[in-house]
Amino acid sequence: MILVTGATGNVGSKLVQRLTDKNIAFKALTRDPAAAKSIFPDGTQIVKGDYTDLDSLKEATMGVEAVVLISPAHPDMVAHQTAIIDAAKANGVKDIIKLSILGANLGAPIRLPKLHAEIEIYAANKGLRVTAIRPNLFMQTLLGNQDSISSNGKIYAPASNAAISFTDVRDIADVFIGVIRKEALRGQIHEITGPESLTYAQIAKKIGKVAHHNVEHVDVSEDTARQSMLSMGMDPWVVEAFLELFGIYRAGYGAAVHADSVAKITGSPARKFDQFAFDFKDKFALRV
């Protein structure tokens, strides 16, 4: 039995579908089971849990052999994930299979990779076997730009001409499935990306090609990006975390390609951005 945390999120929801398709026994953790029921496939075993309620987490991890540890970027991300780890340890869980980030390291110059590394080490020090799945920036983050793309053909991002090895969320879910099914893949670090590094200007052209209208990248300043994200109601801590990440990309540290890992684990090649753009072309179609 697997417990999936962050089950309603980008990766978690895709993984829930994959687990269902593969007939792998799992439970999906959520704070709001009623709302989640409309998202998950019929028959999904949903358990209620809150990162700030250790008793609920202990109940959720009962009878589980592995925890898929996923939670969004958040000021309390370390506290949230270590609470799950503590509950898992108390119930004799053996494996933590964690969604991490490419470049996770205690010596990282920015917060997200540093905090993910801290959580990985915490779980290992608890005596749990830790498998870290470390993707680069999700292709699906571009869906957050669909309004500006479909209304005026613009992608606003403080990315300059940085090349980034975008990773498809569907590949991430498939890698999780591979790790869940293959004992030999446990206890390792799996760095995964798409098969190519692309600039935002290049992905804009690819989206425009399949959406049949001109799309271009508008390189905005950090301050402009900050004000835009804050105006959308994003948490200030999360805003700064993403701005730090783009600063690293602009410095040239987001281009490494680890597509071979995807093929090795899943048996299929990592999806190209062209495939992502085609599959979601209706989202980017010009509004008339």
Sheet holding 95-99, edge to edge: 45-48, 26-30, 2-4, 66-69, 95-99, 129-135, 189-192
Summarize pLDDT for 64-73 with one digit per residue, the tens.
999 999 999 9
Tokens of 18: 């994959």
Residue 2 pLDDT: 98
- DSSP states of 140-172: GGGGGGHHHHHHHSEEEES-TT--B--B-HHHH
Residue whose token pair is 């500006």: 148
Summarize pLDDT for 212-244 with one digit per residue, the tens.
999 999 999 999 999 999 999 999 999 999 999
Residue 34 pLDDT: 87
CB crowding 159-186: b at 16 or more within 10 Å, else e: beebbbbbbbbbbbbbbbbbbbeeeebb
Question: Which of 137, 121, 11, 126 minimizes the C-alpha distance to 68?
Answer: 11
Residue 56 pLDDT: 95
What average pLDDT does range 197-209 have in this prediction? Answer: 98
Residue 5 pLDDT: 97
pLDDT at 253 over 80: yes
Interatomic CA distance for residues 266 and 174, integer angstroms: 6
Interatomic CA distance for residues 29 and 54, integer angstroms: 13
* DSSP letter assigned to residue 285: P
Residue 27 pLDDT: 97
Domains of the chain, earliest start first = 2-135 (3.40.50.720), 141-164+195-255+271-284 (3.90.25.10)
At residue 227, what is the residue type? Q
pLDDT at 249 over 80: yes
Q: Average pLDDT over the chain, rounded to whole? A: 96
* DSSP letter assigned to residue 197: -
Residue 210 pLDDT: 98
pLDDT at 4 over 90: yes
- SS3 state at 30: strand
pLDDT at 288 over 80: no
What average pLDDT does range 165-172 have in this prediction? Answer: 98
Which pTM value belongs to this model? 0.96
Residue 88 pLDDT: 97
* pLDDT bracket for residue 36 (50, 70, 90): confident
Percentage helix, strand, coil, to 5, in the chain? 50, 15, 35
Tokens of 17: 């579908």
